[in-house]
Amino acid sequence: MRIDVLSIFPELFEPIVANSMLGIARERGALEFYAHDLRDWTHDLHRTVDDAPYGGGPGMVMKVDILVPAIEDIAAMDSRLPHVVFTTPTGNVFNQDKAAEYAGRDRLLLVCGRYEGFDERAYALADECMSIGDYVLTGGELAALVIVDATTRLLPRVLGNADSAADESFSAGLLEYPQYTRPAEFRGQRVPDVLLSGNHAAIDAWRYEQSVQRTRDVRPDLLDLLE
Ligand code: 6GU
CATH, residue 32: 3.40.1280.10
Number of domains in the chain: 2
- Other CB atoms within 10 A of residue 174 CB: 21
Q: Which of 94, 115, 131 is the pocket-test mutation for ligand 1 (most atoms within 8 Å of CB)?
A: 131
Asked if residue 170 has pLDDT above 80, the reply is no
Residue 98 within any structural domain of the chain: yes
> Do 173 and 148 belong to one domain?
no
Residue 160 within any structural domain of the chain: no
pLDDT of residue 226: 83
Calculate how far, in angstroms, residue 138's C-alpha sits from the geometric centre of ligand 1.
Answer: 8
Record the pTM. 0.93
> Do 21 and 125 belong to one domain?
yes
pLDDT of residue 67: 98
State which residues form the domain around 218: 169-226
Calculate how far, in angstroms, residue 136's C-alpha sits from the geometric centre of ligand 1.
Answer: 5
> Of 152, 184, 211, which residue sits at a domain end?
152
Residue 214 within any structural domain of the chain: yes
Asked if residue 199 has pLDDT above 70, the reply is yes
> Of 152, 177, 211, which residue sits at a domain end?
152
Pocket lining for ligand 1, CB < 6 angstroms: 87-89, 113, 131-133, 135-137, 139-140, 143
Calculate how far, in angstroms, residue 192's C-alpha sits from the geometric centre of ligand 1.
Answer: 41
> Do 125 and 204 belong to one domain?
no
**59 and 116 in contact (C-beta within 8 Å)?**
yes
State the CATH number of the domain containing residue 178.
Answer: 1.10.1270.20
> Do 123 and 191 belong to one domain?
no
Q: What confidence tens digit (pLDDT) does each residue in 106-145 have?
A: 999 999 998 789 999 999 999 999 999 999 999 999 999 9
> Do 50 and 132 belong to one domain?
yes
Residue 109 within any structural domain of the chain: yes
For all residues of the chain together, what is the average pLDDT? 95
